[in-house]
């Protein structure tokens, strides 16, 4: 198994912000549950804003597609 420093990831917050989920980070750190990992994995405000923007785009796209389908089918 590769250590965090070997992978170029030095802290749990950086690991999470680079795309790893809390469960995986916790397992790599030897934590028994994600509660232990959550104490160390504080996400930067910018990372949270970016995630909110991505989710907003996904939801907005789904709503637009649904409206278009309804319009195309006369619903």
| DSSP string for 8-44 | T--SHHHHHHTT--HHHHHHHHT-SSHHHHHTT-PPP
The CA distance from 52 to 42, in Å, is 16
Distance in angstroms between the alpha carbons of the first and the last residue of the chain: 55
pLDDT one-digit tens code per residue, 20-48: 888 888 888 888 887 877 776 666 567 77
The CA distance from 60 to 31, in Å, is 37
pLDDT at 69 over 50: yes
Residue 74 φ/ψ, nearest 5 degrees: 65, 30
């Amino acid at each position: 198994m590769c250590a965090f420093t070997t992978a170029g990831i030095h802290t749990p917050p950086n690991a999470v912000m680079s795309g790893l989920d809390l469960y995986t980070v916790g397992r790599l750190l030897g934590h028994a549950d994600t509660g232990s990992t959550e104490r160390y994995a504080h996400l930067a405000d910018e990372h949270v804003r970016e995630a909110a923007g991505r989710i907003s785009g996904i939801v907005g796209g789904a709503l637009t597609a649904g409206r278009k389908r309804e319009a195309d089918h006369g619903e």
